[in-house]
Structure 1
Amino acid sequence: MVSRAPFGESGWATELKRSRIKREPPTAGRGLDTFDRILASAAELLGEVGFERMSTNDVCGRAEITPPALYHYFYDKYDILEELALRLLKRQNDAFHAWLSGSGIDGDTEARVASLARWFRIAAEVTGATPGSLSILRALRALPGLAHIRLASQRMLSDQLCDIYMRLNPASDRQIVWCRMRISCEFGYMVDEMALEEGRIANDVLFSTVASMLVETPPSDAV
């Protein structure tokens, strides 16, 4: 079960504030089973019909529950989508931390390009294994109510990458480095989407090309 503040230890959850009070998800028993069935059904429908065409009635029918049961846990389909987005980002960020603690961005240019391309492959696998992931990624960009989730996640990753780069290059301008890392994280979302939907570019070519673009261009004196 994923908490609604999955990155609390790193501080990013402090940015995930909405105008209405969040309902606490169940932690055990039939409530948890219903909660997870709602999310699983919504994810399936997202992959089949997309967010705009999905309704809470559709989710109820797929999950075999009544509308009052759904509204006990979620306000609307946007609330469901937010939970699905948090879960997807947690999977991605957990995988990122595992990659970073391994080879990460250490080594010479060739090694860093290979390592970053490997990360893009890992991220694509994690994303591709998540039902409805393409609709979730698009919604994170398109829906103003979800922008805070995407921004908080990307800023957290940018902070971590900036910290590592500054340890390796202490004379660098931290603000410039952070801007570059933030832009690099934005590229990561683009790579995920392209890997899922652009069939005219092989994923290995996509991953290695973007990795080369990001690694082989050093931070400049201005952004």
Structure 2
Amino acid sequence: MAAPPETASFHTWVAEQQRDAGPRRKGERTRDRIRLATVALLNEVGYRHLKVADICDRAGVTAPVLYRYFDGKQALTMDVLGEFLDRFMAAPRDGGTLTPYQTIFAANRRWVTMARANAGLMRCLLEASEDEPAFKALFARESDRWNRRIVDSIVRRFPSAEGERADIELTIVALGGMVDELTRRLFAARAADVTRLVEEVASDDDALAHFISVLWYRALYGAEPPAGEGPGVASTLVRAAAGRPSPAPRKGGRK
């Protein structure tokens, strides 16, 4: 089963990407410092309290220098959050080596790990989506692309489900909304009631990812995960059908 990436912090990941890029011209290095400073501040204070002056102080540049590379706070934040969603949060392809449940679990385990390690950025993303139409459009575009990627993956695995794309995609939209809301309340808002429930039901991130993944599997495949593939919290909440093969997604509308 795919393990979560070693680098869960977006700030650390960006710094490593910049370091591994090799020798850079002075202008590129300056731009990198501005972006890295923005990542740190967005994670610390969010979009609403982000100030160009603070970015300049953190990056060691003047405002005129910053404006050579970015039009302002919004453009800079769009650049950073776009990379956060598009390159960092996106789950790598499994190459077809995982079972349907393992694929779902690997994606959810990665998401939980990343959301916890970047709680400030998750909160910032939600704030920015509320404040700026451009950020809302960015989040919607990335969510749509994520949804279509999952649909394509399911249809490749089960070609007979080609005619049920709309049904599958709507299911994924609903499931994704569930995970987004849980992420918001648990990591961004730090809601006491949700935190208490998670501590009681899912003792660690593996257990939380299994809890979410069982819900995904049930909704998509109309069955319990195969025996042995849902350890931890899944084994206490469901009774997997021993030896039952992984079915194709169910056809038809909701009953």
TM-score, normalised with respect to structure 1: 0.71
Aligned CA distance change for structure 1 residues 72 and 128 (closer, same or farther; 3 Å): farther
Q: Determine if the alignment matches structure 1 residue 182 to structure 2 residue 173.
A: yes
Mark the runs of 5 or more structure 2 residues left unpaired by the alignment. Answer: 1-22, 200-204, 223-249
SS of match in other structure, 2:92: helix
Instruction: Tell me the equivalent position of 1:122.
Output: 110
Please tell me the residue identity of whatever aligns with 1:78: Q
Instruction: Tell me the equivalent position of 1:158.
Output: 147
Q: Determine if the alignment matches structure 1 residue 92 to structure 2 residue 89.
A: yes
Comparing 121-130 and 43-52, the one that deviates more: 121-130
Instruction: Tell me the equivalent position of 2:126.
Output: 138
Aligned CA distance change for structure 1 residues 147 and 62 (closer, same or farther; 3 Å): same
Q: CA deviation at 1:60?
A: 0.7
RMSD in angstroms over aligned alpha carbons? 2.8
Aligned CA distance change for structure 1 residues 222 and 208 (closer, same or farther; 3 Å): same
1:170 to 147, 160, 166: 160
Mark the runs of 5 or more structure 1 residues left unpaired by the alignment. Answer: 1-26
Please tell me the residue identity of whatever aligns with 2:76: I
Q: Deviations over 1:101-154 (max 9, x none)?
A: 542xx34xxxx1x54233222123344455842234324532321122222222
Instruction: Tell me the equivalent position of 1:8.
Output: none
Comparing 28-37 and 175-184, the one that deviates more: 175-184
SS of match in other structure, 1:72: helix
Aligned CA distance change for structure 1 residues 72 and 44 (closer, same or farther; 3 Å): same
In the alignment, the residues of structure 1 paired with residue 41 and residue 144 of structure 2 have an alpha-carbon distance, to the nearest angstrom, of 30
Which is higher, the Rg of structure 1 or of structure 2?
A: 2
Q: Identity rate of aligned residues, in percent?
A: 18
In the alignment, the residues of structure 2 paired with residue 194 and residue 131 of structure 1 have an alpha-carbon distance, to the nearest angstrom, of 11
Instruction: Tell me the equivalent position of 1:57.
Output: 53
2:187 to 176, 189, 196: 196
2:30 to 30, 34, 40: 34
In the alignment, the residues of structure 2 paired with residue 141 and residue 117 of structure 1 have an alpha-carbon distance, to the nearest angstrom, of 27
Comparing 51-60 and 159-168, the one that deviates more: 159-168
Comparing 29-38 and 121-130, the one that deviates more: 121-130
Comparing 165-174 and 147-156, the one that deviates more: 165-174
Alignment check: 8 A CA contact 1:158 1:182 kept: yes
Please tell me the residue identity of whatever aligns with 1:144: P
Alignment check: 8 A CA contact 1:157 1:185 kept: no
Please tell me the residue identity of whatever aligns with 2:75: D
In the alignment, the residues of structure 2 paired with residue 53 and residue 70 of structure 1 have an alpha-carbon distance, to the nearest angstrom, of 18
Q: Determine if the alignment matches structure 1 residue 45 to structure 2 residue 76.
A: no
Aligned length: 188
In the alignment, the residues of structure 2 paired with residue 100 and residue 157 of structure 1 have an alpha-carbon distance, to the nearest angstrom, of 17
Instruction: Tell me the equivalent position of 2:237.
Output: none
Alignment check: 8 A CA contact 1:134 1:193 kept: yes
In the alignment, the residues of structure 2 paired with residue 220 and residue 102 of structure 1 have an alpha-carbon distance, to the nearest angstrom, of 25
Q: CA deviation at 1:38?
A: 0.9
Instruction: Tell me the equivalent position of 1:211.
Output: 213
Alignment check: 8 A CA contact 1:43 1:84 kept: yes
Aligned CA distance change for structure 1 residues 163 and 149 (closer, same or farther; 3 Å): same
Aligned CA distance change for structure 1 residues 46 and 164 (closer, same or farther; 3 Å): closer
Instruction: Tell me the equivalent position of 1:14.
Output: none
